[in-house]
Every structure is written in C-alpha cells, then in structure tokens.
Amino acid sequence: MSDYRDLVTNESITCGVILRRYPDGVETNVLHLVTHHSPSGFEWGYEGSGPADLALNILEAVLKKMHYHGRKVDCLRGQCFELAWRLHQDFKREFIASMPREGGVIYYPVITVWINDHARARSI
C-alpha cells in the first residue's frame, strides 16, 4: 500500500503527463519513483513541495523512457538521476506551478525537448 493520497492511472507517460483533480484527491500517470520534498503526495498549481516532487518524478520517469543512463543521487526516499535533480525546480516553475488547479496534460515530446534544451544550456 502506498503512503500517498494520489490515484494512479495506467495511461502511458509517452501519451503525456496527465494530471486530474477529484474531490478526494489527485490522479496522474506519474508513479512515485522518488520522494524528496513531499511525503504526502503530488500537487500542482503553485510552487511548493508537492509540485517539486511531481516535477522530480516526471523528469525521472521521462529520462527512464528516453533510456537515459546517468549518475544517480540520493533523495529522502530513493534515488533519482542527477539530471532530474538539477532540472526539477526549473521544470516545476515552468510547467507545474502554472498548471490549472483542475489539471491538464504536459505532452511527452514537449518534456523531452525541454530536458534536452535545458541540459544543453547548462552543459550537463
């Protein structure tokens, strides 16, 4: 059993990151692969700990789908790619904090281009 309140769909992340809000919680197709900021679950629509963990887990999941192999770093629970760690706050500010409260979709190709552009710009 998960420690999180989030509902998880089985829709592939390659269709896009799906974020939905219901009266009893949030639903997404992003698994909790790592926890660092928010042990209670994912959130969006502001710049807090729930959005930070959502951003971190989105980047981790997409990097895995991209067959990325890079250095790992320790988090509060689990490990993530150093690249996901270094980019997640920027991703949070650009995509997660501005997401409408009811949710939405962040398309997979948009995320992969964003990762490549930001990794290149930071020489990572």
Q: Does the residue 18 lie in any domain? A: yes
Q: Does the residue 66 lie in any domain? A: yes
Q: Residue 1: its pLDDT value, please?
A: 31
Q: Does the residue 32 lie in any domain? A: yes
Q: Residue 7: its pLDDT value, please?
A: 64
Cβ–Cβ < 8 Å for 16, 106: yes
Which residue from 59, 4, 46, 11 is spatially nearest to 26, judged by alpha carbons?
A: 4
Which residue from 77, 3, 92, 86 is spatially nearest to 33, judged by alpha carbons?
A: 77
Q: What is the DSSP letter of 35?
A: B
Mean pLDDT estimate for the chain: 91
Q: Residue 32: its pLDDT value, please?
A: 86
Domain that holds residue 41: 7-121
Q: Does the residue 52 lie in any domain? A: yes
What pLDDT, in 10s, does the model give residues 6-37? 667 889 999 999 999 998 889 999 998 898 88
Given a cut of 50, the residues of the chain with pLDDT beneath it are 1-2
Counting other chains too, the contacts that 114-118 makes at CB distance below 8 Å and 24 or more residues apart are 115/59, 115/62, 115/63, 115/66, 115/83, 115/87, 118/87, 118/90, 118/91
Q: Does the residue 1 lie in any domain? A: no
Angle at 108 between CA 86 and CA 70, to 5 degrees: 35
Domain count, the chain: 1
Q: Which residue has the tokens 């809000």?
A: 21
What is the torsional sign of CA 28, 88, 98, 4?
positive
Q: Cα(84)–Cα(119) distance, rounded to whole angstroms?
A: 10
